[in-house]
Amino acid sequence: MIEKVSTLVLFGATGDLAARMLLPSLYGLDSDGLLPDDLRIIGTARTELDDAGFRERADAALRAHLPEGFYSAGVAERLVSRLHYVTLDITDQAGFAKLAGAIGDPCHGVAIFLSTAPSLFKPVIDGLAGAGLACPTVRMALEKPLGSDLESSREINDAVHAHFPEDRTFRIDHYLGKETVQNLLALRFANLMFEPLWNAAHIDHVQITVAETFGIEGRDYYDQAGALRDMVQNHMLQLLSLVAMEPPGDLNATAVRDEKVKVLRALRPITPADVEQTTVPGQYTRGAIEGVPVRGYGEELGRDSATETFVALKAHIDNWRWKGVPFYLRTGKRMPMRDSEIFIQFKDVPFSIFASRGATTSPNKLIIGLQPEESIELRLMAKTPGLDRQGVRLREIPLDIGLANAFSEYRRRIAYERLLLDLIEGDPTLFVRRDEVEAQWQWIDGIRAAWAEKGMTPRPYAAGTWGPSAAIALTERDGVTWHES
Ligand code: BG6
């Protein structure tokens, strides 16, 4: 396989993802001098536009979406001069021929970034192949949703595989492009102190929370997906697999992904017999976010819906390392705050020498903050200063590493910067392999089938709260409280 490509094709180039994420990411890379000098970027979509029109739109998107103070006319001009545009109607093969013409000889290396509705993957792939664009120097990036269940995901994977072998297929999970997510590997495998404790003997439980304050914001797709498929199937299971995987033998794509897929395959299936105790779907009703009244999900949608906008669940990984350690996952729209974190609670000390002096201890905790701030915090017990005449007093204190401060000289990047660069350079480590995606779907399909069998529908929660009260009961039954920052 050739390494760097010299053409990047963006399907859906006039869409929201391109404006908010892809173009600003390419700008960031260009501003750091990381894009190949000869890289051309061809945008394509159904909208009728020419190169000049696309360049104008791209410049407007950069001005609107780059962080304040980052836009510079010089860099924008350089990036914009790389841009070209081809109008393409997916149902018309002539458009693919036009695209092939704009690309020229694909032997110099082409990366195609496809973000489209799942039903369009096959026609696009076939169209590309029909236009001679599936040759060995072309690689393909696929943005989620990759299907809506195991079967449809397999169909997409088969359609892609018919023309693009696995080593040229780059499945995107943008969480893997986040700096703190990659930092999990550094924290676990570049430090000696955690690994001996990283198992069922020393860890009581793990919580993974991804909470968002916004609603569905007019995204039609969401109502067909729901929180389980939109967030848990991909991002949250990837986080879980990075927390739980065995140390890989190397940092290469095969070694890392081999270890992640073992975790995904060891997830204990959730069945109709236990789904009511281990999962809580929810849907937001009217409420308030930071004091501002907001509508309920059905009102936003304009009709009733049984789609969950929240899900909390308890997962188990059936292997030696994690036997008996619950992994509590929770994600939702219209939560009180934007907050994503991994919370690891260790076991309590086996015997407290302070108990006879009236002091209680609490277990150590490791909290890895992903959003809005990137942080790592270790909660330790310390003695409260004093002469202890009324007994020893202990208090939990944080050992806090604000990554933004520790690395203040570095610019905070959009997750897609890393992923686009890896795509251009041909490094698949941070992309999801077919066996991972399919293991993820298999586990999620089991939950959906159990919900259907038990007739479980989302429980209401007021916007601006942490989900239905049953989500609290889910952990409290085990004597565990959700961590709130
Ligand atoms: C997307 C989901 O994959 O991730 C969205 O479709 C969600 O519903 C988004 O809002 C969250 O991404 P981030 O990077 O803002 O946490």
Q: Which of 29-33, 247-251, 325-329, 390-394 has the lowest mean pLDDT?
A: 390-394
Rounded Cα–Cα distance for residues 280 and 314 (Å):
9
Q: pLDDT above 70 covers what percent of the chain? A: 100
83, pLDDT greater than 90? yes
| Pair type for strands 83-87 and 7-11 | unpaired
Q: Which atom of ligand 1 is nearest to the CA of 222?
A: 8
Give the per-residue pLDDT at 285: 97
Give me the mean pLDDT over the 370-379 stretch: 90
- Strands (E) in 295-332, as ranges, are 310-315, 327-332
Q: Which helix (H) or strand (E) holds 275?
A: helix 275-278
pLDDT band for 346, please (50, 70, 90 cuts).
very high
In the structure encoding, which two tokens stand for residue 369, read together?
């903050």
CB–CB of 206/328 below 8 Å?
A: yes
Residues with CB under 6 A from ligand 1: 174, 212, 230, 371
Catalytic member of 84, 163, 174, 235? 235
pLDDT band for 364, please (50, 70, 90 cuts).
very high
C-alpha 155 – ligand 1 centre gap (Å): 24
Ligand 1 atom 6: residue of nearest CA: 230
State whether the Cα torsion 202-316-241-165 is positive or negative.
positive
SS3 365: strand
442, pLDDT greater than 80? yes
pLDDT band for 2, please (50, 70, 90 cuts).
low
User: Chain centroid to CA 7: how far?
Assistant: 26
pLDDT band for 4, please (50, 70, 90 cuts).
confident
Give the per-residue pLDDT at 402: 76
Q: Which of 33-47, 305-319, 384-398, 440-454 has the lowest mean pLDDT?
A: 384-398
Ligand 1 atom 7: residue of nearest CA: 231
Q: Which atom of ligand 1 is nearest to the CA of 212?
A: 10
| 446-469 exposure pattern, b = at least 16 Cβ within 10 A, e = fewer | bbbbbbeeeebebbebebbbbbbe
216, pLDDT greater than 90? no
User: Chain centroid to CA 121: how far?
Assistant: 21
pLDDT band for 484, please (50, 70, 90 cuts).
confident
Give the per-residue pLDDT at 387: 86
Q: Which helix (H) or strand (E) holds 157?
A: helix 150-161
pLDDT band for 1, please (50, 70, 90 cuts).
low
Instruction: For a ligand 1 pocket test, name from 148, 220, 230, 234 the mutation site with the most ligand atoms within 8 angstroms of its C-beta.
Output: 230
483 is catalytic: no
246-247-251-255 Cα dihedral, nearest 10 degrees: -40
C-alpha 130 – ligand 1 centre gap (Å): 33
- DSSP letter for 413, please: P
User: What does the pLDDT look like over 158-195, one tens digit per residue?
Assistant: 999 999 999 999 999 999 999 988 899 999 999 999 99
C-alpha 230 – ligand 1 centre gap (Å): 8
Look over the chain and give the mean of its residue pLDDT values, rounded to a whole number. 94
User: What does the pLDDT look like over 34-74, one tens digit per residue?
Assistant: 999 999 999 999 999 999 999 999 999 999 999 999 999 99
Q: Which atom of ligand 1 is nearest to the CA of 214?
A: 10
Q: Which atom of ligand 1 is nearest to the CA of 175?
A: 14
Compute φ and ψ for 3, nearest 5 degrees: -85, -90
Give me the mean pLDDT over the 105-114 stretch: 92
Give the per-residue pLDDT at 359: 87
Q: Which of 179-183, 223-227, 327-331, 424-428 has the lowest mean pLDDT?
A: 179-183
